[in-house]
Amino acid sequence: MSRLLRALQRHSFRAITSTLIVLFFLAHATGLYEWGYIHNLELRTYDARLNFTRPNTADSRVVIVDIDEKSLAELGRWPWNRELLARIIDALFDHYQINLLGFDVVFAEPDVSSGLSTLEKLALQQLKHEPAFLETLQGLRQTLDYDQRFANSLKNRRIVLGYAMISGAEGDAQASISGQLPAPTLDLAEMQDYRIYPTQAVGYVGNLPAFTQATITSGHFNSLPDNDGITRRVPLLYGYQDKLYESLALAMTRVFLGEPFITTQVEKNGNYLAVEALGLGTHRAPVDARLHSLIPFRGARGSFTYVSAVDVLKHQVDPETLRGAIVLLGTTAQGLFDLRTTPVDEVYPGVEIHANIISGILDQRMLGSPPFVIGAEMLLVLLAGISMILLMLRLNPLWATTVALLLTGMVVTINLLFWTRLHTIIPLAATLLTIWTLFLFNMAYGYFVEARNKRQLTHLFGQYVPPQLVDEMSNNPGAKFSMEGDSREMTVLFSDVRGFTTISEGLNPKELSQLMNTFLTPMTHIIHEHRGTIDKYMGDAIMAFWGAPLADPQHARHALQAALAMTQTLEDMQPEFRARHWPEIRIGVGLNTGIMNVGNMGSEFRMAYTVLGDAVNLGSRLEGLTKQYGVTLIVSESTRQAVPDYLYRELDRVRVKGKELPVVIYQPLGLPEQLSPDLIEEVALYHQALDAYRQQHWDTASEQLSALAARDPEQAPAVYGIYLARISHFRTDAPGPEWDGVFTHTSK
């Protein structure tokens, strides 16, 4: 938690801005305002989910009798005379024995195609005194009255007619009324306490009264495209003069189920009343506040069986296809303009929209958005936003992208589970925009702001400091990093190639350059890998330090690990040198820990980020002593105390050139658990001999050192011989009682 609070404090601007982004999308989810872009994106996500989850199966219960191009070619252009339509109705009910028929067409005007009206006019005028004509006309009236023939075919059959509601300005109402409406489904005045806002019509194009009165009921076949022109929903109930009228699909489903009435299912919460769905017995159709319902598309065009109207008339359809079916008579012909753009197909027959609604209600697949989805969307926006804020502040771009993708996957999965299991639509766009807006903002901020800080740090320290330290510095904007002088405890390393003059004399300039590059490159990598800062290259020598510019509590340990790795890596490189006919390279490394001055130092002509002080000078002297003691690495007492878990061989107490106070120097051997028991025992015996030497017990010290050297004469440390030589000298020239065991070096 403390790390999180520190991250929020360091990135306060990002945290505040990210919070405002979440509040912005949260306000949209609550309905305080509606941003058109989110609404349009929501429509796109709805289409994607619909197409992903649609069953893509056929429903044999609903069959479409199609006024198709084939029928128009054989029976003539639309509208057909109603005597022909009556024959089609008779064929459907009498021959094919269908259950229910719905018309996706309206019969608003009388059919005068038989010529009966002309004959009636002649009977009243020119031929009114011709008894033979009048007698013949009397016999033809029943045959030529196509409207009456059609009305008779409608009676006592399960038929639902269609009609059109007209939307527009109130002033157009009178010009937009024709035919007769069926009885209203519900009284809008009785629902005034409900929060509904049905689509209102100013007129209608209904069927002729004789047809309306001859059928069970009628339903409007209006569908309302969204602003993008795509039809996704239909008004199941349409308002007109304080009455509500059912749609064709709803009316047909009600008749099919044998339900005499439509009921309303109301959500109650205190004084809040909202119609959540329309009830048809045990079946329900979810609706929104406008009494619209989403179309439950089964699939693309052709999810229902189509039969040609002319084939029905000629009895050329398999009777089992139509027996007991719910039949819709409509058109797919291009010239009759009953094609829609839908989420599943750009050219979709309007008649199949009604078929989908009937099928969806019967299967209880109708999708709805009950009031609780507002709270669900708010919760998802809030959780996604908080998760992104907390994680974006702490993750690198790769992990941030992974988290954004995982959150997106989780949100979409939850959404689809509600969609498929509960048939409930939870808005998705605002949540997805919350995730990816926060992601893009944080990525842009990181690139333009934090990358700028990193570039500044890289400009200052990049030539000295390893890239990973620059990354840490850039990830810690609250800290102050500069090249100004400072005094702190640090560890310094000096490395030098043994016999470099001899090596350089044996190689030409190009070979020498290749040799040094081959040597210095891995050494530099090791220093960087262990968080060290390169101070300078001095020909064959390297100077580096730990603890600046980024503070490092483990600077001594990291420096020691780097020094040991350098010596081991150089040993591993020797076969390569021999293969290239280069001389072997041996180095000496000195390490010292202490208070040093660090900063950008130099003159007005040239500056360098470096360290100065007595502790630095001692590090240089220790590197020089490696030649005299025959070791690769020497560290000071202060470094040994800073890293006490390593095993060290004490080499000497010395007074180096330029310093009055003596220092104890050590050879690091490694971690005890990584060393052989024989070596650990040998070091312990050596330290006993060293104690005897400092107590001037020359015989004991000489005997012990000689025994240690005899163990492996070829690999015996040079320090054994150094002390044996000193003992030989002190036997003839005793150091005196005030001797402190310190050896003074007079050269670097």
pLDDT at 736: 81
Residue 619 in any domain: the answer is yes
User: Which of 338, 363, 388 is the last residue before a domain boundary?
Assistant: 363
- Same structural domain, 111 and 189: yes
Residue 42 in any domain: the answer is yes
Residue 143 CB neighbour total at 10 angstroms = 11
- Same structural domain, 531 and 568: yes
Could you tell me the two tokens for 277?
């769905």
- Same structural domain, 530 and 381: no
pLDDT at 686: 96
Kindly give the interhelix angle for 677-694 and 698-711, rounded to the nearest 10 degrees: 160
Q: Write out the DSSP string of 372-429.
A: HHHHHHHHHHHHHHHHHHHHHTT--HHHHHHHHHHHHHHHHHHHHHHHHHH-BPPP-H
Residue 464 in any domain: the answer is no
**Cβ-Cβ contacts under 8 Å for 202 (sequence gap 6 or more):** 166, 167, 168, 169, 170, 172, 173, 176
Could you tell me the two tokens for 467?
């890239």
Provide the whole-model pTM.
Answer: 0.64
Residue 440 in any domain: the answer is yes
Residue 470 in any domain: the answer is no
Helix (H) or strand (E) holding 317: none
Residue 75 in any domain: the answer is yes
- Same structural domain, 389 and 314: no
pLDDT at 473: 52
Question: What 3-state DSSP class applies to 653?
Answer: strand
pLDDT at 203: 92
d(CA 72, CA 283): 38
Rounded to 5 degrees, what angle do the CA atoms 402, 406, 412 make? 145
User: Which of 363, 387, 420 is the last residue before a domain boundary?
Assistant: 363
- Same structural domain, 8 and 105: no
pLDDT at 499: 86
- Same structural domain, 216 and 347: yes
- Same structural domain, 686 and 732: yes
- Same structural domain, 656 and 521: yes
- Same structural domain, 76 and 46: no
Helix (H) or strand (E) holding 289: none
Q: What is the CATH number of the domain that holds 631?
A: 3.30.70.1230
**Strands laid side by side in the 237-240 sheet:** 186-187, 243-246, 237-240
- Over 695-719, what HEC string results? CCCHHHHHHHHHHHHHHCCCCCCHH
pLDDT at 478: 45
> Mean pLDDT per 10-residue run, the chain (748 residues)?
52 82 88 82 95 93 95 92 94 97 94 64 60 58 78 95 82 68 92 87 94 96 92 95 95 95 84 86 93 95 94 96 96 82 93 96 93 88 91 83 94 94 93 93 75 55 54 51 73 93 85 91 93 88 90 94 96 92 92 92 70 94 94 97 97 83 94 94 96 94 94 90 93 86 76
Nearest one of 421, 285, 306, 433 to 359, comparing CA atoms: 285
Contact 238, 244 (CB under 8 A): yes
pLDDT at 136: 59
CB under 8 A, 24+ apart: contacts of 153-158? 153/85, 153/86, 153/89, 153/90, 154/89, 154/211, 154/214, 154/215, 155/214, 157/89, 157/93, 157/101, 157/215, 158/99, 158/100, 158/101, 158/216, 158/255, 158/256
**Cβ-Cβ contacts under 8 Å for 353 (sequence gap 6 or more):** 223, 231, 234, 249, 295, 340, 342
pLDDT at 735: 87
- Same structural domain, 714 and 729: yes
Count of domains in the chain? 3
- Same structural domain, 638 and 531: yes
Give the domain extent around 610.
478-744
Residue 473 in any domain: the answer is no
- Same structural domain, 217 and 129: yes
Residue 582 DSSP symbol: P
Residue 146 in any domain: the answer is yes
